[in-house]
Amino acid sequence: MGAEPTSVLALAAIAVLVGFFIGSVGVGGVLLIPPLVWLGGLGIHQASSTALLTFFFTGAFGTWLFHRRGSIDWRMTVPVCVGAVVFSYVGAMASSRIDARALALIIAGIIVFAGVYVLLPSRRGEGNYREGGNPAERLLLLGVGALAGFGSGLSGAGGALFSVPMMMVLGFVPLAAIGTSQVLQVIVAFSGTIGNMQYGSVDFHTAAWITVFELAGLVLGTRAAHAASVAALRRMAAGLCIVVGLVMLARSL
């Protein structure tokens, strides 16, 4: 990879933190992209495509962890994933055609938006959530998947950054939304990586060792999602997103 030992250690620590937030609040994968640029020496296109590849493995492992706890509602998950299949590939193709500075600005804006959204309190009372049980709700979920897939392929952020906020805004069960995001990662990472391999570049060496640390964080994050204060986890993830996004905006400008 060519990075200094201190940079490698810093990247490993960040990967653990990213995995933790993927497992605990769903939003967090996009935080991996700026450090891959700043510490790993990758270009923005290669950083986003490399990060996206790692989410295939965090998604597969996260799916297993959430499924064994009964926290994946397949009525919600299947329509979201169906909507994402094609559009993540389209997003990856679009990413390869965007100027590096413009792509960095787009990703930075997405990170800040995610942080601001996560800070917003939920306005839906317990027991009053949608559960994907009727055709209208399944159509909404299909649209969520299409938007999340395109955004993920475009930015390398993983599907959760888009799907979790949208599902919560639309009133779906929060824990089930996080569970759905684990499965969605597998779909968008696979489809988007195929596009990236054809139209961009992926650093497989970096992706391999970064993934190991993400998976370690994912185990801790999954436990936290089922035991710790969700509000505290959300505030921590939001603060990180806002700080990293603003720094990235400043550097890009």
> pLDDT, tens digit, for every residue of 191-237?
888 888 887 689 999 999 999 999 999 999 998 888 866 667 667 76
pLDDT value for 184: 92
User: Backbone phi, then psi, for 130, in 5-degree steps?
Assistant: -80, 150
pLDDT value for 206: 95
- C-alpha neighbours within 13 Å on the C-beta side of residue 21: 29
pLDDT tens-digit series, residues 22-44:
888 777 777 898 899 989 889 98
Q: Give 126: exposed, middle or buried? Use CB within 10 Å, 0-12, 13-18, 19+.
A: exposed
Residue 13 has pLDDT above 90, yes or no: yes
Asked if 63 and 182 touch (Cβ cutoff 8 Å), the reply is yes
61: which 2 tokens? 């492992």
Computed over every residue of the chain, the mean pLDDT equals 84
105: which 2 tokens? 């600005």
Mean pLDDT calculated for residue range 106-128: 70
Model confidence at 21, pLDDT cuts 50, 70, 90, reads: confident
Q: In the chain, what are the domain boundaries?
A: 5-252
pLDDT value for 53: 93
Q: Give 142: exposed, middle or buried? Use CB within 10 Å, 0-12, 13-18, 19+.
A: middle
Mean pLDDT calculated for residue range 58-69: 93
Model confidence at 142, pLDDT cuts 50, 70, 90, reads: very high
Among 81-95, 166-180, 202-216, top mean pLDDT goes to 202-216
Of the two residues 242 and 82, the one the predictor is more confident about is: 82
Among 68-82, 114-128, 165-179, top mean pLDDT goes to 68-82
- Helical segments of the chain, H only: 5-24, 33-38, 44-68, 74-96, 100-119, 135-155, 160-169, 174-199, 204-227, 230-252
pLDDT value for 1: 46
The whole-model pTM stands at: 0.78
Mean pLDDT calculated for residue range 90-113: 80
Q: 3-state SS of 140-207?
A: HHHHHHHHHHHHHHHHCCCCHHHHHHHHHHCCECHHHHHHHHHHHHHHHHHHHHHHHHHHCCCCHHHH
Angle in degrees, 0-180, between the axes of helices 44-68 and 135-155, rounded to the nearest 10: 140
Rg of the chain in Å (alpha carbons): 16
* Spatial distance between the Cα atoms of 84 and 149, rounded to a whole number of angstroms: 4
Asked if 238 and 120 touch (Cβ cutoff 8 Å), the reply is no
* Spatial distance between the Cα atoms of 175 and 195, rounded to a whole number of angstroms: 30
* Spatial distance between the Cα atoms of 249 and 28, rounded to a whole number of angstroms: 17
